[in-house]
Structure 1
């Protein structure tokens, strides 16, 4: 009997240990500690060596990254479970990318030497200041005066130079920002506190500060007329990155497709949208003239002041649908804590549609807009369009993503638009399949956005391949998708000069198709329920979608894993 009790106790302890191990892996991995240490160390160095583009900062960060690469490589990879292998692969990828970026910075800085011969003087002052040493103020005043004179001479030469490339111009702008930050740091530390500095420096500091400000503005002007960029009449001047860089960035995301293959995928998805749009148009009584059907849908806009109420109505319907169909776990706190704001007119120039997350930013006309712009804003944010994207922006999309990311494996810093935007777009696809659109008008609204995502792949890749101009991209959105022209202009401006990465716009549809392919494999294949699949994704935090699949399907990943999952199979 005693042996049986001991056996039962042993089994219970084993089970509890297994449960504890499972719970542990919800929040950590064998690579977690080194990743957390790196982020803390990187943050400390960034705050200490804050002078952007300075050689000192660059060299110190390169040393840090190299040291952590050595630490990662010392881990016993073969003993790691799948989730930890994913952390290893992605963390190492990020470290190598950091070294690449620092190397590019070093090369570009070297190419700009002739334009920044004066930088050591300012860098040295900031280094001297860090530990509170008292300066020879008279000598510093002479040095600042000399530096200001050098900048004035360089400015006259720079005005005549028309050969500097956009990448070097952007680097130069960053160097100037760093120098301004260093000079400001020095002045704020000593001015008014150190008698010698306060006596000698006020005028010379102002002169040098003004010279740097003017030099920075001159570099900004150079950026507007750099070789390779021109205004095609759209007012949008961007710089395509080219095929080689597109492929490099796709490989970073573990996507084994060429740009041309991705455009082909977009065209196939567009063809599906076209067929479905014609069906909806016919049901609405417009035959094959889907643009008339779209026009009717656009004119269902609500009156000014009513948009928040309309959004709330659709949100409630969406949440009820998710719960009724047992699609995922929705934490009550996530439902409780999202909030609304109204988008500013300035932001609406680059974000003509509402955006989400914990804060839902509603795009709708204000009293300062021109009449035509007011109408385009209302028409572009009609209830049927909004019905397609409320779940994209809130739950189960961006708001729930952010909510879960802060609660599960928060140490993972593998953020990617293919996960962020792809997941949100996937829900548009899934809710279409599950008949969330209630009328042909609803379907037109959802199809408009799906066509829009297809168009993003086509116009952004054609632009970065050097085949299309911004104006051609705008015209394509108007003619092929049915955008209001002002909204199309805002979309293209956002894509090319809004600070988004070159792959961002194609990440919506491609990431969505990745999640959709996984759904077919796991849910349609009977291996998981909807709730199990969706909860599993959200508990792994953001990362390339291929890596999410590797974890959920428990793949044995080799140390040198390369992109291989060809997820698209629509015939």
Structure 2
């Protein structure tokens, strides 16, 4: 029927417009939430687990007590069951990664608690009085009225037992390092249980205050001496000879190194990791000779390195020199459009100066939101002052200022506090690997302006190769701390005091035994991902780097699973051979 009026034509146009809008709306792709807004079904279980574990550990506070261990173990097993109730096949890739990693961590905690129980049972003969103390502390938690005279008698009897046990123990030739540490920490827990009880009742309960103080203080002092006598008998898994270094750590042995590598999802043996380090070392040697020749020193790269070390700044000028390097590195990163640098992250990092005592363990600056500068102070000896200045010259620091600040540790801290904060799969291969990767990337991008700069950057890359070699040789019982120090001096060109500080930091500074290998190996893992995703054209540098850091901490293989959308299997085991020999 022909349209005869203006009103009908208007109605028809309106209907056509609405129909077109509907079609266009249906054709629009689903809006994807930004990465930082994504959640995970596993997150809810992880939050509940951490809350429950926190409640249990705050109530059952006495370390190594059977009661605490049994309760924590039941909590872990409860959440292993809860996690298993999820329909794994219906989860997306990121959530499958969370599942695999959380399941791994629950079983690691189970392993550690079972190991604690095994070691406790092995040293129980040396603390046969423990249950008496645990029972006293258990009654205290809910404020029970205790028999003060009975407690005093019990503590007095325990003191006599400790004296006899110490005499008996002194006849022992040795105790393994692990069992010795377990005995020490168990005695520490018993002292904490006694102190908790004493602090609760003493001065408040008249009878307790009259009966208990003297036997309590006597027993506490005897337990301190007892623990010290155990410490003198500790014997490492791998025997250590006195080598003159004064550094005594705890080599953990090949089997434990391999177990920890599996946990960190590194599918290489210690021998293969040393081979990787040697291959990377060979590349560094070749590049070092190129730079040495450009500087006019021929193949005498140590002479070229010595020249670079003398380029240190005067006392009092190091913060200014570091700020200059920082500005140059940030400008370089922005010019090459490598990653998003949030203005607040640029605004809020800060500096501090390291104390002389801290420099004994950390001879070079450290970073993050707080940038700690290592440089001589007035109390150092003349030799130590010069070694600190030489080891922190601007050419060396050019390789590491972006490692410590942006886009390294400072940006990591900024991002892990904001993106997927439920992920707590902390690993040095992600933490240090990311920062080392930026040293490699900026080298490839031409950040080194002169042969002196290249030598400075190569020094640090050689240092990371050396860390793999000396730490694995130490923990497998092949090298002493002094051999590690000499290796850093001879093979890398460290100042001796700085080499001693590095080795001391590695073995007695509280670091995980795999920490020092994580720099280079983690960096090589991320470089392998970069080749797969950026060099192939699948992502730009900025897309890759932003996506990577916004996943929060986890093994690098799992980062790859998310970024490449390759979901892991429920019974996943590591198999990524990221390094090509």
Query: Smaller-chain TM-score range?
Result: over 0.9
Q: Deviations over 1:177-222 (max 9, x none)?
A: 2112111111111111112211211212211221122222223333
Contact 2:238 2:476 survives alignment (8 Å): no
User: How far apart in 2 are the matches of 1:290 and 1:533?
Assistant: 36
Q: Could you tell me which residue of structure 2 aligns to residue 150 of structure 1?
A: 161
2:175 equivalent to 1:161 = no
Query: 1:407: Cα distance to partner?
Result: 0.4
User: Which range moved further: 272-281 or 469-478?
Assistant: 469-478
Residues 544 and 109 of structure 1: CA distance in aligned 2, closer, same or farther (over 3 Å): same
Equivalent residue of 2:478, what SS?
coil
Pick aligned residue for 1:210 from 204, 216, 221? 221
Pick aligned residue for 2:211 from 178, 200, 216? 200
Contact 1:162 1:227 survives alignment (8 Å): no
Q: Could you tell me which residue of structure 1 aligns to residue 407 of structure 2?
A: 396
2:89 equivalent to 1:78 = yes
- Matches of residues 397-412 of structure 1 in structure 2 within 5 Å? 397-412=408-423
Contact 1:165 1:227 survives alignment (8 Å): no
2:190 equivalent to 1:174 = no
- Matches of residues 75-474 of structure 1 in structure 2 within 5 Å? 75-223=86-234, 228-474=239-485
User: How far apart in 2 are the matches of 1:305 and 1:402?
Assistant: 28
Residues 426 and 567 of structure 1: CA distance in aligned 2, closer, same or farther (over 3 Å): same
Residues 12 and 156 of structure 1: CA distance in aligned 2, closer, same or farther (over 3 Å): farther
2:496 equivalent to 1:485 = yes
Residues 194 and 496 of structure 1: CA distance in aligned 2, closer, same or farther (over 3 Å): same
Query: 1:161: Cα distance to partner?
Result: 1.7
Equivalent residue of 1:31, what SS?
helix
Larger radius of gyration: 2
Equivalent residue of 1:388, what SS?
coil
User: Which range moved further: 278-287 or 177-186?
Assistant: 177-186
Size of the aligned set, in residue pairs, is 568
Contact 2:525 2:578 survives alignment (8 Å): yes
Q: Could you tell me which residue of structure 1 aligns to residue 70 of structure 2?
A: 59
User: How far apart in 2 are the matches of 1:201 and 1:14?
Assistant: 81
CA RMSD, 1 decimal: 1.8
2:51 equivalent to 1:22 = no
Contact 1:357 1:399 survives alignment (8 Å): yes
Contact 2:530 2:544 survives alignment (8 Å): yes
Query: 1:228: Cα distance to partner?
Result: 2.4
Query: 1:14: Cα distance to partner?
Result: 9.3
Q: Could you tell me which residue of structure 2 aligns to residue 551 of structure 1?
A: 562
Contact 1:163 1:227 survives alignment (8 Å): no
User: How far apart in 2 are the matches of 1:342 and 1:441?
Assistant: 26
Q: Deviations over 1:137-189 (max 9, x none)?
A: 11111111111221122122222322210010111111122112111111111
User: How far apart in 2 are the matches of 1:12 and 1:222?
Assistant: 77
Q: Could you tell me which residue of structure 1 aligns to residue 6 of structure 2?
A: none
Structure 1, unaligned runs of 5 or more: none
User: How far apart in 2 are the matches of 1:160 and 1:9?
Assistant: 89
What TM-score results when the alignment is normalised by the length of structure 1? 0.96
Q: Deviations over 1:383-439 (max 9, x none)?
A: 111111000001111111011001011111100000000000000000000111111
User: How far apart in 2 are the matches of 1:194 and 1:11?
Assistant: 80
Contact 1:301 1:383 survives alignment (8 Å): yes
User: How far apart in 1 are the matches of 2:39 and 2:86?
Assistant: 15
Residues 477 and 334 of structure 1: CA distance in aligned 2, closer, same or farther (over 3 Å): same
Pick aligned residue for 1:531 from 522, 532, 542? 542
Contact 2:238 2:477 survives alignment (8 Å): no
Q: Could you tell me which residue of structure 1 aligns to residue 10 of structure 2?
A: none
Equivalent residue of 1:494, what SS?
helix
Q: Could you tell me which residue of structure 1 aligns to residue 3 of structure 2?
A: none
User: How far apart in 2 are the matches of 1:245 and 1:272?
Assistant: 30
Residues 427 and 201 of structure 1: CA distance in aligned 2, closer, same or farther (over 3 Å): same
User: How far apart in 2 are the matches of 1:300 and 1:193?
Assistant: 66
Contact 1:327 1:534 survives alignment (8 Å): yes
Query: 1:238: Cα distance to partner?
Result: 2.5
User: How far apart in 2 are the matches of 1:264 and 1:225?
Assistant: 27
Residues 54 and 316 of structure 1: CA distance in aligned 2, closer, same or farther (over 3 Å): same
Pick aligned residue for 2:524 from 513, 524, 542? 513
Contact 1:162 1:226 survives alignment (8 Å): no
User: How far apart in 2 are the matches of 1:398 and 1:537?
Assistant: 14
User: How far apart in 1 are the matches of 2:365 and 2:546?
Assistant: 26
What TM-score results when the alignment is normalised by the length of structure 2? 0.95
